[in-house]
Amino acid sequence: MVNCRPILIGMVAGENSGDILGVGLIKSLKKYLKNVYFFGVGGMRMRSENMECWYNIEELSVMGITEVIFKLPSLIRIRRNLISQFLKLKLDIFIGIDFPDFNISLEYNLKKKGIRTIHYVSPSVWAWRRNRILYLKKAVHSVLLLFPFEKPIYSYFNVPHKFIGHVLADEIPLYPNKIKIREKLGISDKKICLAVLPGSRMEEIKMLAQDFLTCIELLNNNIPNLEVLVPLHHQKLIDQFVKLSSSISVKVKVLHTQKAWKIMVAADIALLTAGTATLECMLAKCPMVVAYRTNLLTFTLVKNFIKIPWISLPNLIAKKSIVQEFIQKECNPKNLSIALLNLLNYNDDQLLTLKRIFYQLHQSIKLNANEKAAYEILKFIKS
């Protein structure tokens, strides 16, 4: 598609995982649109593609109901300003990347004013607050779906959608080279390597880091040749975790990286917070234990509305339990360390079976997502 006039695209990503999706989409759209400009909210990756960002992702990122309430006035002000700015620009299209409670309202208001809208990443309507799909249907022209288990509910409610797979499944090799990556990281083959991912937001790290660190100490008592790697994508998160990790005697290597999956490829086992990291770990073919905790008020309010038995993406995609999950009270150092030691004791057949499942799930979402997403969006842009 060759365009003469400038094409103006609005985008809002509310957290790190959205920044990953956003930068790939921008690169793909630039292949087809030679005179295109991007505006809105993004992270360092999207900024690297010359997107004009009016706010930082950190200003939007929140976790749990109490955090949302505390930050609500600021979020309302930002959303109001974004609507005003986007309308002044007379966008060709707006793409909300995940962050549904913020973006769907934004999309609804823009669509009412005649702007075409796309929502990239389905909200978890298959898990709870199913009625959101009706509001989403009014707010957007199409929804880009990452996972096959999401398709039935969109078909049932007759919401325009496109299943595109996941960009990480395209980026991460089906057969990652563990030996090569360990060599690059300087990890001896005599070491047992544990990857620890305590979260991509400050609130997650505050909630889980101490239990993760205690778990590391328990593991170190049983594994004398343990090497612990903690990949984090933002300096603020690194500073916070380094400060917390000084309380334990075990040496922990905290790495500043945008490619956490490479650390997971190098690892023998992984301990991580529920979220996109569980998908990366599955794609890296690394056995994992998944932990999740939120504040008690949020958990109490939400638990009775959850309609699915799992929280981690590998289990959701597989539609069965293939990785262990520990939630709230069950998420404690003793349980986590026992589960990780059990993974280390897997025999060859057990390990091969788990990795074969990971491989099959990887194939199911490896669909050239950036190109599929760009193609769907181009259909709604008037040349």
**Nearest Cα to Cα of residue 271 among 231, 311, 319:** 231
* Sheet containing 142-145, strands listed edge to edge, beginning at the edge strand earlier in sequence: 52-56, 36-42, 7-13, 93-97, 116-120, 142-145, 161-163
**Which residue spans within the chain are E strands per DSSP?**
7-13, 36-42, 52-56, 93-97, 116-120, 142-145, 161-163, 192-197, 226-232, 252-256, 269-273, 288-292, 324-327
pLDDT digits (tens, 9 = 90+) for 26-37: 999 999 999 999
**Nearest Cα to Cα of residue 140 among 106, 166, 163:** 106
Q: Are residues 237 and 205 in the same domain?
A: yes
* Residue 371 within any structural domain of the chain: yes
d(CA 27, CA 345): 43
* Residues above pLDDT 70, as percent of the chain: 92
Q: Which residue has the tokens 């001896």?
A: 188
Q: Are residues 195 and 180 in the same domain?
A: yes
Contact indicator for 117, 139 with CB cutoff of 8 Å: yes
d(CA 284, CA 189): 18
Q: Are residues 71 and 97 in the same domain?
A: yes
Per-residue CA distances from 286 to 141, 265, 354 (Å): 38, 6, 9
Count up the domains in the chain and report the number. 2
pLDDT digits (tens, 9 = 90+) for 114-148: 999 999 999 988 666 788 899 999 999 999 999 99
d(CA 15, CA 56): 10
Q: Are residues 201 and 323 in the same domain?
A: yes
* Residue 1 within any structural domain of the chain: no
* Residue 274 within any structural domain of the chain: yes
Q: Are residues 151 and 111 in the same domain?
A: yes
pLDDT digits (tens, 9 = 90+) for 199-217: 888 888 888 999 999 999 9
Local structure of 221: helix, strand or coil: helix
What pLDDT, on the 0 to 100 scale, is given for residue 63?
A: 56
Residue 254 backbone phi and psi in degrees, to 5: -100, 120
Q: Are residues 353 and 234 in the same domain?
A: yes
Q: Are residues 360 and 371 in the same domain?
A: no
Q: Amino acid identity, residue 273? A: T
What pLDDT, on the 0 to 100 scale, is given for residue 48?
A: 97
d(CA 153, CA 119): 16
The CATH code of the domain that includes 111 is 3.40.50.2000
d(CA 325, CA 281): 14
Q: Which domain, by its residues, includes 19?
A: 7-165+367-378
Q: Are residues 345 and 271 in the same domain?
A: yes
d(CA 330, CA 343): 18
Mean pLDDT score, 14-23: 91
Distance of CA 226 to the CA centre of its chain: 28
For 300, residues 6+ apart whose C-beta sits below 8 A from its C-beta are none
Mean pLDDT score, 261-272: 98
Q: Are residues 374 and 339 in the same domain?
A: no
Per-residue pLDDT for 70 more than 90?
no
What pLDDT, on the 0 to 100 scale, is given for residue 57?
A: 87
Q: Are residues 199 and 94 in the same domain?
A: no
d(CA 230, CA 55): 28
pLDDT digits (tens, 9 = 90+) for 287-309: 999 999 876 666 555 666 566 78
Buried b (16+ CB within 10 A) or exposed e, 28-52: bbeebbeebbbbbbbbebbbebebe
